[in-house]
Every structure is written in structure tokens, then in C-alpha cells.
Amino acid sequence: MNPLLRVRDLRTSFGSGRSVARAVDGVSFDLFPGETLGIVGESGCGKTVTALSILRLIPEPPGQIADESLVEYGDANVMTLAPEELRRIRGAEIAMIFQEPTTSLNPVLTVGTQIVETLRAHREISRREARRRAVEALELVGIPDPDQRVDHYPHQMSGGMQQRVMIAMALCCQPKILIADEPTTALDVTIQAQILELLADLKRRLDMAMILITHDLAVAAGIADRVAVMYGGQIVEEGPAATVFSNPEHPYTAALLEAIPRLDRTADRLPTIPGAVPPASDWPPGCRFHPRCPHAWEQCAAEVPNPLGVARDHRARCWLVYEPGRRRP
Amino acid sequence: MSGTLHRLLRQRRARVAMALVALLCLAAALAPWLVPYEPTAQLDLVRGQYLAPSAEHPFGTDFYSRDLLSRVLYGARISLAIAVLSVVLSVTIGTAVGLTAGLAGGVVDAVLMRAIDAALAVPRVFLLLVVLVLWENVGVVGLIAILGLTSWFDASRIVRAEVLSLKTREFVVAARALGLGPPRLALRHLLPNLAAPIIVTATLGIGQIILTEAALSYLGLGVSPPTPSWGSIIAEGQQALAVAPWVAAFPGVAIVVTVVGFSLLGDGLRDAIDPRAR
């Protein structure tokens, strides 16, 4: 099967001169039709910058996407599209929703107007027709009384309701790909589950592919078909969600999974990863995780590991794949 | 918006200002029915010159025996109409330029803003005097155009600053992520968010323009006689300050009241719209 979206060697940096923050540094992945790819990692690992770079929403300057970066959608390289062509892809082919529904909606426009404007940005339809479709879109995302809610302002709705509106707005032009950047982080746990269920359901019904960005491994495990674990602006491990979570190859993935509190294990302290994420302007040489890695040896500090195949569809950026014997118990 | 009105009405200053402005607008609108005499009618050139205020002529009469109350009321019409229309013109241009500069950024922004800096470096009154001296008999429409075209610089800077801060708000990024182009973004998403600063700028601008227009008419470069405007009535009354001070005094008071009214209303609106300003 051909991938719907091919990302190759995506590099996004901020600033110039002496302090260049290489926030995304050589990210490559494929997204296949109908699948959900979870991108996980802690704050500052480059998840959001990756997502914004795909749609070229990084403010330039200070941001800068390297020339050799490739984001292939259909026949087009999104990185080199003219502004008008880029505009036509955003929302109609690849849509994106954000973490904070409260700030992602315009406070002075009714939710209906905002959906209508998105529709009219891509389709030649009358205001009345657009409004009818806006009501349909609200109905699709499970908002009760859509024909009344369409005239409400964002502040008249709860956070969960607002996120549903954002989803309706993102999906009203039937995009092929939905990028959801931490769509449930700002919501409480019960609402979180509802929104995730809604996203999974809509993805199936509308036959979309989805990139779900989250720092919550449980969310990724629950909804993603494949996961990509990011650390230090790079993907360190990638594979089917079930495999990655049951047999993590990269020590970073393993450490993240260890750090999840579990009901069946009583411990005084949760396991943590020693140290902190280094700043993006000063990545360590070699493997970026080696200063915090319990298995590291000289090679880790000296040479940058490339993504290495563990199995056909499971890869990790770690020398341990070559020398499994060095893994400490 | 109802919250804004509520906060506006809670300020005593703003209530007074609203009452003043409403009264003025009403007087201007109803002038033809309110005035006791035609504003240009010379009632009695022999015995009616410079009559002191009385029951018959509450504001007195001028050199040509015209009823001053009628002239001041009609002057309100002219002065307010000129002020409102030129403010509409200046705010429209200012908003368009500010939106363009703020949203486009880069070279477009730099060129527009430096051009405005250069324009602001020329003293406004001097600029107006040159234009009006060169353009004889401008008429009311011409005056509105000149006043409007020379007063949008501040509005455009205010709008640009506001756009720059709105641009980084997440809902603008979200709208761009869904494929809204610059025109749709500017008109549908940004403009409604700019309503507050624009209304405040416009309200304060009206007071400013009334002063400017009065100054120009006083210098004989604005509205030409016999059309009554507050500035030209003061100019006529100046010759008789010693014998009939009321001729210059009443339009003068009218100007003060109007400018104070609009300024207080503008300040009140700003406080009501922007909670941080208090």
C-alpha cells in the first residue's frame, strides 16, 4: 500500500547564529490510508513542531525548515508549495486541531460562523448551504440541538463541547488526514475518553488517516495502530503500537513505560528517568539519550545510531539493536 | 457587547458624556424643526444687529441680524456631519492599512509604517493649510475628504498593533491550519476582534476633527459663509467681541461641550471595553 503522507528528513530549527534550536532534527515517517499514527514523547521533544511543520504553520522567521525536508502528499511536496496551493491543502486535505479548544476558537464569532468560514474557504457554496452543512457537521460530532448550538458563541459551551466544535470545523471539508495535537490534554478524564472515542469513530466513518500527538502513553495505546516515540527532535522508536508497548526496544521507550504508575505494583517511588531533556540548542553528541541511558557505552557517545530494524515494521534508533548482549538486566 | 454597555453605564462620567452626545446629535438631527428662524435670514438689518440674548433670541443676534440660536443649531449639523463622515473615512482607511501591514508583515509592513512615520513628521495643521490654500472653495465634501485623508495615520498604527497581537493568538493559527486565506482571515476573524479599539479611536477622533474643522473655518479655510459652522460663526463674532461677546461665546461653548462629550465617551468606552485600562 502506498503511503498517504511521506515525511522524510524533516528538520525545523529556530533562531540563527550561535544559538540554533534544532527542535525537529531529521524526522521521517509514513502515514498509510486509514491508520492512526501516535506520536508520543515528553514536552519539548518536537512533537508539536513536527505537526506544525507538516502544514508549514511555523512562523518564519524565527523558525526555519531545512530545504532538503520533504513532506509528500499525493504528488506534491508540501514544503515547496505556493501559498495558494498550500492554503487549499490545509483544511481540505490535511486538517489540524489543537490542544486548547478555548483559545482555538474565535471568541467573538458564533461557532456556526466559524464552520461556515472554513467551508467557504474551500467550497463554492452559498451562505445558506454552508450553514446547513455546519449544522450537519455539529450533528456528526455529537452536539445535541445542533440547529440551536450553531448560533452559540464558544464561551457558552463547555470545554468538551468546544473541542467537538473544533473537530466539526476540522472535518467539515472531509480532509484525508487529521492531525490532532494533544486533543484531550486540556479536558478532564471522562470527557477525554469521549473525545478519543469520537475521533476513533469519525476516523472510521470518514475513512481518514490520523496523526495523534500525545504525551499520554495510555491515550496512544488505546487509539493508535502504530506509534512513533520521539526524543530530542528525532523518532527513536517506531512500530505497531502493541509491539512497541509490550517489547520496547529503545531504552527511552522502556523507561517511559516503567514510569507509568500501575495498580498491580506497589512501590514507594515511581521509577523516573535520571537527568532532564537537554536544550534543543545543545544536543549531546552521538545518541541523544546516552547521558540518561542506563545501558550506554562508549559507542553511544561517539556515534549517532541510525534507525535500525528490529523486525520488519519495528525500528529503533539504538546501538543495542546491534549488540543486544550489552543490555543490562 | 451587552456587558460593555453595562460597564459603560456604570461610569458616571460616561453617562454624562452619553447624554451630552445624544442631546447634540438629536439637536443636530432636528435642527430644521427646532430653530425659531432661518439660519441665514437677515431679520432686521436696521434694528436687529447684535441684539443681546433675550426671550425672542435666546442666543442673541449677529451683525447681519441673524438669529444666533438657529445658526448654532445648524452649525451643529454641519460640524457633526463633517466630523462623523471624515472619521468614517479616516477609520476605514486606517483599518485597511493597519490590517494589511499587520497581517502581511515583512516588507509590506515596513514600507507602510515608514511611510506613515514620514507623513506624521509633517505637522498636520501646516499640511491642511497648504492643501486648503491651494484648493479654493473646497466645499463641505472636499473638506470631509481632506480631513479624512489626513487623519488615518494613528488609526492604522493602533489597528496594526492590535493585529500583531491577535496574529499570535491560537484561534488565528487554528484558522490558518484549516486553510483560511489572508482576506478571509482579516475580514472574518480579525475585524470583529478589532471592533473595540476602532470604536474608541473613532469616538476620540470625532472630538479632534471638530476642533480642527472649527480652527480651519475660523481661519476662513473651512466651511465658507453664509453656511454656518461653529468655527465660521466664531470668526464672524471675533470682530464684535467687545460689543457682542455672545456671538463668539455660544458657538465656542458648543465646541467645548461637544469635544468634551466625545472625549469622555471615548475614554469611557475604552475603560468599558478593556478591563485592564482601569
pLDDT tens-digit series, residues B137-159: 777 888 899 889 988 998 999 99
Q: Which residues of A touch B179 (CB under 8 A)?
A: 87-92, 118, 121-122, 173
Kindly give the pairing relationship between strand A36-40 and strand A226-231: parallel
Average pLDDT of A173-190?
88
First to last CA, chain B: 18
Across chain B, mean pLDDT equals: 84
Q: Do B174 and A96 touch (CB under 8 A)?
A: yes
Q: How far is B174 from chain A (nearest CA, A)?
A: 6
Q: Give the count of beta carbons closer than 10 Å to the beta carbon of residue B33.
A: 6
Q: Which residues of B touch A166 (CB under 8 A)?
A: 174
Q: Which of B85-94, B143-152, B211-220, B266-275 has the highest mean pLDDT?
A: B85-94
Q: Which of B51-65, B174-188, B218-232 has the lowest mean pLDDT?
A: B51-65
d(CA A46, CA A56) in angstroms, rounded, equals 14
Q: Which residue of A has its CA nearest to B194?
A: A108
**pLDDT at residue B1, rounded to an integer:** 52
Q: Quick check: helix, strand or coil at residue A94?
A: strand
Confidence tier at B106 by pLDDT (50, 70, 90): confident
Q: Which residues of B touch A89 (CB under 8 A)?
A: 179
Do the interacting molecules here have an ipTM over 0.90? no
**pLDDT at residue A135, rounded to an integer:** 93
First to last CA, chain A: 39
Across chain A, mean pLDDT equals: 87
In degrees, rounded to 5, the angle at the alpha carbon of residue A321 between the alpha carbons of residues A317 and A325 is: 140
Confidence tier at B161 by pLDDT (50, 70, 90): very high
- Within 8 A by CB and 6+ apart from B44, the residues are B65
Q: Which of B222, B240, B239 is nearest to B231 (CA)?
A: B222
d(CA B218, CA B49) in angstroms, rounded, equals 21
The answer, yes or no, to whether residue A328 has pLDDT greater than 80, is no
Average pLDDT of B39-63?
73
Count Cβ–Cβ pairs < 8 Å, chain A vs chain B.
75
The answer, yes or no, to whether residue B110 has pLDDT greater than 70, is yes
Q: Read off the C-alpha cell for A291.
A: 547521558
Q: Do A120 and B193 touch (CB under 8 A)?
A: no
- Within 8 A by CB and 6+ apart from A277, the residues are A42, A43, A44, A45, A231, A232
pLDDT (tens digit, 9 = 90+) per residue, A119-153? 999 988 998 999 999 999 999 888 889 999 999 98
The answer, yes or no, to whether residue A247 has pLDDT greater than 70, is yes
Q: Which of B11, B64, B70 is nearest to B37 (CA)?
A: B70
Q: How far is B276 from chain A (nearest CA, A)?
A: 18
Q: Which of A48-57, A92-101, A206-215, B242-251 has the lowest mean pLDDT?
A: B242-251
Helix axes B153-167, B191-218, angle to 10 degrees: 170
**pLDDT at residue B274, rounded to an integer:** 65
**pLDDT at residue B278, rounded to an integer:** 44
Residue with cell 451643529: B76
Q: Which of A223, A93, A56, A99 is nearest to A170 (CA)?
A: A93
Q: Which residues of A touch B178 (CB under 8 A)?
A: 90-91, 95-96, 118, 121, 169-170, 173
The answer, yes or no, to whether residue B229 has pLDDT greater than 90, is no
Q: Give the count of beta carbons closer than 10 Å to the beta carbon of residue B2.
A: 6
Q: Do B174 and A173 touch (CB under 8 A)?
A: no
d(CA A163, CA A169) in angstroms, rounded, equals 10
Contacts for A63-68: CB closer than 8 Å, 24+ residues apart: A63/A12, A63/A13, A63/A14, A64/A12, A64/A13, A64/A14, A64/A16, A65/A10, A65/A11, A65/A12, A66/A9, A66/A11, A66/A12, A66/A13, A68/A9, A68/A11
CA distances to A119, A128, A320, B160, B185 from A124, rounded to whole Å, are 8, 12, 55, 31, 17
Average pLDDT of A21-43?
89
Average pLDDT of A300-327?
80
d(CA A11, CA A22) in angstroms, rounded, equals 7
Q: Read off the C-alpha cell for A312.
A: 520488519
**pLDDT at residue A41, rounded to an integer:** 87
In degrees, rounded to 5, the angle at the alpha carbon of residue A292 between the alpha carbons of residues A288 and A295 is: 95
Average pLDDT of B64-69?
78
Q: Do B174 and A113 touch (CB under 8 A)?
A: no
Give the global pTM: 0.80
Percent of chain A with pLDDT over 90: 25
pLDDT (tens digit, 9 = 90+) per residue, B126-139? 888 888 888 877 77
pLDDT (tens digit, 9 = 90+) per residue, A183-224? 888 888 888 888 888 989 898 888 899 999 998 888 888 889
Confidence tier at B100 by pLDDT (50, 70, 90): very high
Binning chain B into helix, strand and coil, the percentages to the nearest 5 are 75, 0, 25
Confidence tier at A20 by pLDDT (50, 70, 90): confident
β-partners of residue A178 are A95, A210
**pLDDT at residue A316, rounded to an integer:** 87
Q: How far is A194 from chain B (nearest CA, A)?
A: 22
The answer, yes or no, to whether residue A246 has pLDDT greater than 70, is yes
Q: Which residues of A touch B171 (CB under 8 A)?
A: 103-107
